Structure 1
Amino acid sequence: MDNRTDVLVIGGGATGTGIARDLALRGVDVTLAERDGLSAGTSGRSHGLLHSGARYAEADKPEARACLEESQILKEIAGVCVRDTRGLFVQLSEDDPDYFEAKRAACEEVGISTTVVDDETARAAVSDLSGDVERAMWVPDGVILPSRLVAANAADARDHGARILTHAPVTGMNREDGRITEVHLGGEVDETIAPTYVVNAAGPYAASIADQVGASVDLHPTRGVMVSVEYDELEPVLNRCRDPDDGDIIVPHDDEVVLGTTSVPVDDPEEYEEADWEIERSVEECAKMLPAVADAAHVRTWWGVRPLYEPEEAALDERGISRGFHLLDHADEGVGNFATIVGGKLTTYRKMAEATADLVCDRLEIEADCETATRQLPGADDPERVDEFVAEFDGQGPTDADLVGN
């Protein structure tokens, strides 16, 4: 087998598969390698919120605008991979009313549509909403099914010539004369790839991948817990209208809701504590918005690790680090055919992929435009077909395990 490829993408989450799809649609020869099944990392272990940008509107306007733009694109191209549920930011009696006003004003400035309603109107929409809710604000949030989204991107990349290799961990890389010449893949693949260019989209593992060729990625990873409980009467996403904190998001599914999340620094994305206090705090705080979840039966619990990048602010509280993405060209470190993409949100994966594909095409002197903002994902109107992609790529993550295949 010819082991040469124009671009090797390392990492099979939303960003990695999004990059593979983008490049394949531009006619680039792409190979993607994922250490496990697709969605095994951050993408498939998230809370699955399709951000309107409202959560970041007052603190990070560029990221809020990116979320707004990308959420609108995903609602057009992703079909059954997303759900347009809307979102409700709620102010409790203990919350600062000035923060609510600042959030509303910031959303208006960014262009995020809002509708402020009183407590009675909010409870008419969400019958079990806490009596402590004083007012609320509708925003265009939604829900992402990451297993479907990632698999659909991979399938489209595959259909346009890309090789998608799962259970293919990177076991070593050779660097000669300032370039990566070979990448060794283990696991079920056991193959050596000779790439012209390498993209590191390995999420929380990006630093260890870069280290293999003497490059650096200054990650500040944090873990967060998600708790899915039985509850079938919630339609919109609920957000607590306060400074981001533990247990301030409730994401609706069909017969469950996902409660989250915490933010705790970790040193190793592979080995970290899964603390009971995180579960207890998330449930306790979410129950202040929706009391019924306090006693609801727990269905499953999982942790995800966020690949946050902010070397200059590493000493800050982890919730203060920007959720924007960072595209690192390691030519500055003497590795001329290597780039890393880190940070960002699941909602903005397509924009991250486009920026990365633009860089790669520039380096390879390929003139081709991005098509992913207007081209529907395969199976967008056919859930059974997309779920077949999930099974094909071993792409089932815990976030949407109750929805995919049902």
Structure 2
Amino acid sequence: MNSQPDVLVVGGGATGTGIARDLALRGVNITLVDRDGLSAGATGRSHGLLHSGARYAESDAEGALECLEENRILREIGGECIRETRGLFVQLAGDDPDYFEEKRAACEEIGIPVEVIDGETARDAVPGLADAVERAMWVPDGVVVPSRLVAANAADARDHGAQILPHAPVTSMTVDDGRIAAVSLGGDVAETVEPTYVVNATGAHAGKLAAMAGVDVEMRPTRGVMISVGYDGLEPVLNRCRDPADGDIVVPHDGEVVLGTTSVPVDDPDAYETADWEVEETISECATILPDVADAEHIRTWWGVRPLYEPEEAARGGRGISRGFHVLDHDTTDGVTNFASVVGGKLTTYRRMAEVTADLVCERLGVDRACTTATNELPGATASSTLDGFVREFDGQGPTDTDLVEGTDRK
């Protein structure tokens, strides 16, 4: 392996592999490491929703526009990493009609395409939809196959000279005279590297990694349950049109749907309790939208941990209001000159998070090359079998999409 890369990226989810791809395409010498296989964290344990921005339209217009723009880019570059499904926000009897109108108006102001339909038309379009649906709103949501997306980013980085090292946990960092001088790796690698720059893209674990460099990054991780049940023939993503709450999203797969989710604070993203009530409440609430899921075959259940940034969550008051991202330059804030952390964000905006982070890194390294990830199609994008081969290569299977990816299975 290269023991002196220009940049060591720590974290093999969508953001980390997106950063590695972006920098490799700019000619930067990259090593990416993860303690597990790729997409083992929040990326591969999500519900896989490709946001149109509608979920955040009335509460965070800037974030919603960001989602819309990245949604369109991913549809162009992602191929079989993305599933074209559309999305439907539904108002049930008893839901606040003013909230529906506020969201509709906010979507239209931002430029998110919407079409309002009555309940009968919605039930004609989506067989099995609840009788309680009074009206609904079409939006351009979609579905991400996260294992493929991460593996394709890693493959493109590798094809442009990057080293991709799963099962290589960081065990320690040596800080000397205000810079990270050495990073020790364990697992399958068990070597020490001396990078010029280090990027912390470890999601909910960002605080733990930063602490190895003597830096304080405050995270507020929250767990959320996802349940996959047997259900054939659902086309769109279904969203309950109300303030974000437990059990308000149904994501279609082939022959299954994923029900989500809850939001419960956890102290440690590696060791947290899971509760039966989360499963029961999520199924019960999702069944108010699509009643047959209440009795559908239960296929698998998993929890993910959101990488929420404490200062933003405290300022905004908690759940569901925004999922903005922040790139923390530890030179300006903590006196560690060659270290940055990227925190927060959403799967939909991973590419933009990577671009902003890569811009900072290139500025620090004196690299004058522009980002090209918005226009370069991901490798293997048109062939699911090729993408699934990348998933196997990088041990990149997460539970979100085990039914969609051939050849691997990680519960």
With the length of structure 1 as denominator, give the TM-score of the two structures.
Answer: 0.99
Q: Say whether the 8 Å CA contact 2:56–2:321 is kept in structure 1.
A: no
- Residue 400 (structure 2) aligns with: 399
TM superposition outliers: structure 1 runs of 4+ over 6 Å: none
Residue in 2 aligned with 1:87?
A: 87
| Structure 1 residues 284 and 373: alpha-carbon distance in aligned structure 2, compared to 1, 3 A threshold | same
CA distance in 2 between partners of 1:241 and 1:149 (Å): 28
Cα offset for 1:2? Answer: 4.5
Q: Which residue does 1:375 correspond to in 2?
A: 376
Counterpart for residue 348 of structure 2: 347
Determine the C-alpha separation between the residues in 1 that align with 2:58 and 2:385. 40
Query: In structure 1, what is the equivalent of residue 338 of structure 2?
Result: 337
SS where residue 400 of structure 2 aligns? Answer: coil
Counterpart-to-counterpart distance in 2, 1:339 and 1:2: 21
Amino acid at match of 1:318: G
Counterparts of 1:299 and 1:313, CA distance in 2: 33
What's the CA shift string for 1:335-382, capped at 9, x where partnerless? 000000010000000000000000000000110000000000000101
Superposed CA deviations along residues 281-328 of structure 1, whole A, max 9, x for unmatched, are 000000000000000011000000001013264386531553010100
Instruction: State the SS of the aligned residue for 2:157.
Output: helix
Q: Is the 8 A contact 2:326 2:343 kept in 1?
A: yes
Q: Distance in 2 between matches of 1:59 and 1:35?
A: 36
Cα distance in structure 1, aligned partners of 2:348 and 2:313: 23
**Letter of the structure 1 residue corresponding to residue 41 of structure 2:** G
Question: Are residues 1:155 and 2:158 paired?
Answer: no
Note the alpha carbon deviations across 1:25-55, whole angstroms, 9 max, x for none.
0000000000000000000000000000000
1:229 is aligned to 229
Which residue pairs with 1:384 in the alignment?
Answer: 385
- Counterpart residue number, 2:187: 187
Q: CA deviation at 1:84?
A: 1.1
1:272 aligns with 2:260: no
One-letter amino acid of the counterpart of residue 393, structure 1:
F
Question: Is the CA contact (8 Å cut-off) linking 1:67 and 1:347 kept in structure 2?
Answer: yes
Which residue of structure 2 aligns with residue 70 of structure 1? 70
8 Å contact kept, 1:227–1:259? yes
CA distance in 1, matches of 2:109, 2:270: 40
1:196 shift after superposition? 0.1
Structure 1 CA distance for aligned equivalents of residues 163 and 312 of structure 2: 37
Q: Deviations over 1:86-109 (max 9, x none)?
A: 000000001000000000000001
Q: State how far apart, in whole Å, the 1-side matches of 2:312 and 2:96 are.
A: 30
CA contact (8 A) 2:249 2:260 kept: yes
Q: Distance in 2 between matches of 1:171 and 1:270?
A: 16
Q: Deviations over 1:245-299 (max 9, x none)?
A: 0000000000000000000001000000110000000000000000000000110
Counterpart mapping for 1:115-154 below 5 A: 115-154=115-154
For 1:21, the equivalent position in structure 2 comes to 21
TM-aligned CA distance change 1:132 to 1:126, over 3 Å: same
Shift in CA distance, 289/312, structure 1 to aligned 2, threshold 3 Å: closer
Query: Which residue of structure 1 aligns with residue 302 of structure 2?
Result: 302
Whether the aligned pair in 1 keeps the contact of 2:244 and 2:320 (CA below 8 Å) is no
CA distance in 2, matches of 1:99, 1:335: 45
Contact 1:22 1:371 in 2 (8 A): yes
**Corresponding letter in the other structure for 2:208:** S
Q: Is the 8 A contact 2:181 2:194 kept in 1?
A: yes
Structure 2 gap segments, 5+ residues each: none
Following the alignment from structure 2 to structure 1, what is the Cα–Cα distance between the partners of residues 265 and 302?
16
Q: Distance in 2 between matches of 1:302 and 1:318?
A: 22
Give how far 1:394 is off: 0.2
| Contact 2:59/2:321 (8 A) holds in 1 | no
Closer, same or farther: CA 354–316 of 1 in aligned 2, 3 Å: closer
Give the match for residue 326 of structure 1.
Answer: 326
2:84–2:143 Cα contact (<8 Å) kept: yes
- Give, in whole Å, the separation in 2 of the partners of 1:313 and 1:43: 20
Deviations 1:103-154 (A, max 9, x none): 0000001110000001111001111000000000000000000000000000
Indicate how the Cα distance of structure 1 residues 16 and 23 shifts in structure 2: closer, same or farther if over 3 A, else same. Answer: same
What does residue 257 of structure 2 align with? Answer: 257
The SS at the match of 1:195 is coil
Q: 1:216 Cα shift?
A: 1.2
Q: 1:197 — aligned with what? A: 197
Look up the SS of the partner of 2:21 in the other structure: helix
Residue 45 of structure 1 corresponds to 45
Q: Would you say the 8 A contact 2:60–2:321 is kept in 1? A: no
Describe the SS at the equivalent of 1:27: coil
The SS at the match of 1:399 is helix
Root-mean-square deviation over aligned CA pairs: 1.0
CA contact under 8 A between 1:222 and 1:318: conserved in structure 2? Answer: no
Q: What code does the residue aligned with 2:235 have? A: E
Question: Aligned letter for 1:384?
Answer: S
- 2:194 is paired with a residue whose SS is strand
Aligned-partner residue type, residue 348 of structure 2: T
Query: What SS class does the counterpart of residue 352 from structure 1 fall into?
Result: helix
